[in-house]
Structure 1
């Protein structure tokens, strides 16, 4: 975006861990931050009660938050009498936006749409790799030093007319569906809030959750972490998955009963690609670290490395919209948090 003279620069305070500030804002992003907001990027608040930040917080009209932002409780907000808006340079705001924010009438924006992109890309890569049985091929190739017959080893592998079950038409779930569109796959969807007409527009077939579990070669989870979704895939639902099916979880570990899934994976009946677990981190003795049918990664599907720049600029876009009196693109509504990540 350009920065004409009509832009008002709100007094803004960064609230996140200092290392997050350093990772989010390169020189170009810091220059842009200075152009759209009146701020001191050297001031990074990780404790709203800290005396050294009292003056900065008292004058803040906007908070630019990131990972490590402390909760915005009523007591914290008392220290920010001029605060009008919170812009989050990451995904979910549930860790720091409290009911007190809505009671104060604050507006909230998030860069969740920007953070959804790498998660969806990771997920699609996982779906395609698991269909191709890349881990099996890599392991056998290494162990046999090239002496293998791919036709025999990978009989039945491939992504031609496989069935992928998407659980949750969230931002990430919808982006996964979009990215899968060019491939020769049947995509099923379970989401209680999606109508048949909307599913048709997405190009997926809506089905009940148990039917999705029974019918899918790969199930990928994109539902929010809510009391109703805890252990959505418990022992009984995991048992519905066909032999050889793969469960991909880039959402929240609590969606899956870890004990039940571990038993299925140890038996070799199922495969899994897990970027999140419950607990996170798994105990050192967990067999999931070593099982050949499990790809386990340490919550890296979301924005990392140069992808953090996308989130930073998405948040700066929102600050600029605020300064121009324009509506947020990534507006967060209180009523939506009850069914979102």
Structure 2
């Protein structure tokens, strides 16, 4: 097909085989002309500069440098940027918006494994798995014939902070369970909350009444330490805080105080700072479950993001708008 538009990969080359395995690459090549051997980790090399001259679709991902005015000047035919990852904040410059480029990302695809991780953490927390695991390890206490009070997910109240893509996906995954979901999000009204099937409350109410609280708000100046000392103090004894968003949304020092007192539990896939300092108290607290920022896409999950971008490319080539279009005015309230 000689009339296929030209595309260019701009990402870390080592990610390309996982984002676009052979099946996906074959599908992509049917839509656009893209050279797998020319992957822009820098925009100032001769081969990349030559490719930019005819590029209509820039397929970006982790490792893509900022798309500056100089890059855009070298790509006069560029129509759209398709980001095979989540956030585009560090990638796009003001000039991209000023030139009216269409932008999309695979944030919705990346939301899937984060929501799955969160669901697993919620169900484990509701079952009191973390405490009972440690008890079993420490004194070999076997509970088969001993009913554990306060354990279980039947009627459990879960609070979701932020109806982001991930937050909404978590809400969707929780629907089959006998769990009552509370939501705090200043951008969601009563009608939208009803459609989501959640109870819309203010942040303080959510923290006071929920057994498990999971954070899914974006990181920006307004959400810095959103769950701070005063908010953590509202959480009920034995409650669990899950954070798969960004470490800056939670006051780490205040959280450590509550954890050291044995009052709360925490499941933290992100921390502040990140990576966590070697001497942080969080490493040694038995009521803290730490993972190294793994909730997002890894391994075979990267191909889901590639497929999402191919779906978006099919849409735009068919004359339809992106399903996951990003506009500049949304950037202050998305991840």
Tell me the TM-score normalised to structure 1 length: 0.94
| Separation (CA, whole Å) in 2 of partners of 1:190 and 1:112 | 21
Match of 1:73 among 42, 50, 68: 68
Question: How far is the alpha carbon of 1:184 from its aligned partner?
Answer: 1.4
| Separation (CA, whole Å) in 2 of partners of 1:139 and 1:265 | 15
Match of 1:109 among 85, 104, 107: 104
| Separation (CA, whole Å) in 2 of partners of 1:111 and 1:87 | 8
| Separation (CA, whole Å) in 2 of partners of 1:253 and 1:288 | 13
What SS does structure 1 have at the residue aligned with 2:222?
Answer: helix
**Aligned twin of 1:256:** 250
Matched, 1:22 2:17: yes
Question: How far is the alpha carbon of 1:219 from its aligned partner?
Answer: 0.6
What SS does structure 2 have at the residue aligned with 1:68?
Answer: coil
| Separation (CA, whole Å) in 1 of partners of 2:221 and 2:248 | 9
**Aligned twin of 1:311:** 305
Question: How far is the alpha carbon of 1:152 from its aligned partner?
Answer: 5.2
Tell me the TM-score normalised to structure 2 length: 0.95
What SS does structure 2 have at the residue aligned with 1:91?
Answer: coil
Match of 1:195 among 175, 189, 199: 189
| Separation (CA, whole Å) in 1 of partners of 2:4 and 2:49 | 21
**Aligned twin of 1:159:** 153
* 1:121-140 alignment runs, 5 A limit: 121-140=116-135
Matched, 1:96 2:86: no
Paired residues, number: 335
Question: How far is the alpha carbon of 1:92 from its aligned partner?
Answer: 1.4
Matched, 1:142 2:137: yes
Matched, 1:220 2:219: no
> Runs of 5+ in structure 1 lacking a partner?
none
| Separation (CA, whole Å) in 2 of partners of 1:154 and 1:56 | 64
| Separation (CA, whole Å) in 2 of partners of 1:290 and 1:52 | 51
Matched, 1:275 2:269: yes
**Aligned twin of 2:332:** 338
**Aligned twin of 1:35:** 30
Question: How far is the alpha carbon of 1:97 from its aligned partner?
Answer: 1.5
Bigger mean CA deviation after superposition, 156-165 or 134-143: 134-143
Check conservation: 2:38, 2:47, Cα contact below 8 A. no
**Aligned twin of 1:296:** 290
Alpha carbons of structure 1 residues 201 and 151: separation in structure 2 relative to 1, 3 Å: farther
Q: Deviations over 1:262-304 (max 9, x none)?
A: 2221222111111111111001111212321111111111111
What SS does structure 2 have at the residue aligned with 1:282?
Answer: coil
What SS does structure 2 have at the residue aligned with 1:254?
Answer: helix
Bigger mean CA deviation after superposition, 270-279 or 259-268: 259-268
Alpha carbons of structure 1 residues 150 and 286: separation in structure 2 relative to 1, 3 Å: farther
| Separation (CA, whole Å) in 2 of partners of 1:132 and 1:111 | 33
Question: How far is the alpha carbon of 1:16 from its aligned partner?
Answer: 0.6
Check conservation: 1:137, 1:153, Cα contact below 8 A. no
Question: How far is the alpha carbon of 1:143 from its aligned partner?
Answer: 3.1
**Aligned twin of 2:166:** 172
Bigger mean CA deviation after superposition, 286-295 or 39-48: 286-295
> Runs of 5+ in structure 2 lacking a partner?
none
